[in-house]
């Protein structure tokens, strides 16, 4: 969310940014919010003047009432001043109501005006305009057919989609045996990988209040993703970033405590609205999954350096698991409204012979901090807003698709990379049951 003063002083820049994000329907919001802001500031000024005159008028009444004992004509004058005080009180109540209405309308509009994107972001209407930046590892297409990922899992008796459908409906799964163990091993390895990078491990709340949801994501994303707990002001998290950034709501962080670097485990719950293609069946796009996340809260001048570090952590982790990946720069139209800059890390799929998303790294500037009232107290005693960033470490079971496809052998076995073996009890290869 932008600062209203920034919008007031830079309306053309804000409108140009909206155009770059291909959201022309939001252009009228800029003029509307500037007009509301002017009315609100005028109401605040008038209310302040009325409050300032209150003491003067009260003293004047007191003086006139005292003088009225000797001069009855002063009583009529005092009554006139009392009437003015009453009129001022009525007007003040009216202005205070207006201030609240204006503030609410301004806040609602500001939630829908997108953040200013970084100049380096490529311009394009949707993800088709995302730009490949760099590849890491050589993508390989084996000389044998690779089955769909659920078929690979079923060969190890490792997944049961039918039972999950009976219990919970579409978009759920049971993982079992070696596949379930592999799932847990990847998460445990990712946890230790990030701890070794200096991040503090955290298990956050899996449900958060509505004001935290509003603080960490756009209304559009909220409606498309979040499950609300009926009858309570609680939402199931779609990613642990939500509760991890929410941890700092209404807090003042001493500057010497920055950066805050945290890595968190959580289950994630998502509606995943919309039609999905054949490649998004199975366990690719589901309502419940688990994830290891990383978040950073830092000084504004450090956020781009952290952005670079964070997506490279993902590349390093996937390469340590012998999975080829690439970095894809997200274009303007593919950025959520709060994001300044974002990129995806995509893993190679030998079966599809193309890359697919496994991680998403984002710099949100001070948007979340402004919404959540997260402040930093500088060495000079002045307050400022920090920047927040987040990135996926790993998100199985989607990550398992890349793992199984890239480590599948011609005989149906799956090799285990050396770094993962301690988390698999020393197992070097998984042998299928059928």
Q: Which domains does the chain have, with CATH numbers?
A: 4-110 (1.10.287.40), 127-430 (3.30.930.10)
Q: What is the pLDDT of residue 278?
A: 47
Q: What is the pLDDT of residue 275?
A: 44
- Euclidean distance between CA atoms 127 and 321, whole angstroms: 27
Helices 303-320 + 177-195 axis angle, to 10: 140
**Cα angle, residue 146 at apex, residues 141 and 152 outer, rounded to 5°:** 140
Q: What is the pLDDT of residue 60?
A: 63
Q: What is the pLDDT of residue 41?
A: 95
Under 8 Å between Cβ of 338 and 1? yes
pLDDT tens, residue by residue, 76-92: 666 676 777 777 788 88
Q: What is the pLDDT of residue 151?
A: 95
Q: How far is CA 176 from the centre of its chain?
A: 32
- Euclidean distance between CA atoms 75 and 27, whole angstroms: 58
pLDDT-flagged residues of the chain (< 70) = 54-79, 81, 273-280, 434
What pTM, to 2 d.p., does this model score? 0.89
């Amino acid at each position: 969310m932008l600062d209203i003063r920034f919008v007031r002083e830079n309306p053309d820049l804000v409108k140009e940014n909206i155009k770059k994000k291909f959201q022309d329907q939001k252009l009228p919001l800029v003029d509307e919010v500037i007009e509301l802001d002017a009315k609100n500031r005028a109401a605040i000024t008038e209310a302040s003047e009325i409050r300032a005159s209150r003491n003067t008028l009260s003293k004047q009444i007191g003086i006139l009432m005292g003088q009225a004992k000797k001069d009855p004509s002063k009583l009529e004058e005092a009554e006139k001043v009392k009437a003015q005080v009453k009129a001022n009180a009525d007007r003040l109540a009216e202005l205070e109501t207006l201030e609240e209405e204006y503030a609410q309308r301004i806040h609602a509009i500001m939630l829908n005006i997108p953040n200013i994107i970084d100049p380096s972001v490529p311009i394009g209407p949707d993800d088709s305009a995302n730009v490949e930046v760099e590849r890491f590892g050589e993508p390989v297409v084996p000389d044998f057919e690779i089955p769909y990922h659920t078929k690979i899992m079923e060969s190890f008796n490792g997944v049961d989609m039918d039972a999950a459908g009976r219990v919970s409906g579409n978009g759920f799964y049971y993982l079992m045996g070696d596949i379930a163990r592999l799932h847990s091993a990847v998460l445990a390895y990712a946890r230790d990988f990030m701890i070794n990078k200096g991040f503090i491990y955290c298990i956050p709340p899996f449900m958060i209040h509505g004001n935290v949801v509003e603080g960490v994501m756009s209304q559009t994303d909220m409606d498309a993703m979040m499950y609300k707990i009926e009858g309570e002001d609680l939402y199931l998290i779609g990613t642990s970033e939500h509760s991890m950034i929410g941890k700092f709501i209404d807090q003042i962080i001493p500057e010497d405590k920055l950066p805050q670097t945290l890595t968190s485990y959580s289950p994630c719950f998502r509606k995943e609205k919309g039609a999905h293609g054949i490649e998004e069946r199975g366990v690719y796009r589901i309502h419940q999954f688990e994830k290891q996340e990383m978040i950073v809260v830092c000084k504004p001048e450090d956020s781009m350096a952290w952005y670079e570090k964070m997506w490279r952590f993902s590349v390093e982790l996937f390469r340590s698991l012998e999975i080829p990946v690439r970095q894809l720069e997200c274009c303007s139209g593919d950025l959520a409204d709060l994001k300044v800059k974002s990129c995806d890390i995509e893993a190679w799929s030998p079966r599809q012979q193309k890359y697919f998303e496994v991680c998403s790294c984002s710099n949100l500037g001070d948007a979340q901090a402004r919404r959540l009232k997260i402040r930093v107290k500088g060495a000079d005693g002045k307050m400022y807003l920090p920047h927040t960033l987040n990135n996926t470490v790993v998100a199985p079971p989607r990550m398992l698709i890349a793992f199984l496809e890239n480590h599948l052998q011609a005989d149906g076995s799956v090799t285990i990379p050396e770094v993962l073996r301690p988390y698999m009890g020393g197992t070097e290869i998984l042998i299928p049951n059928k």
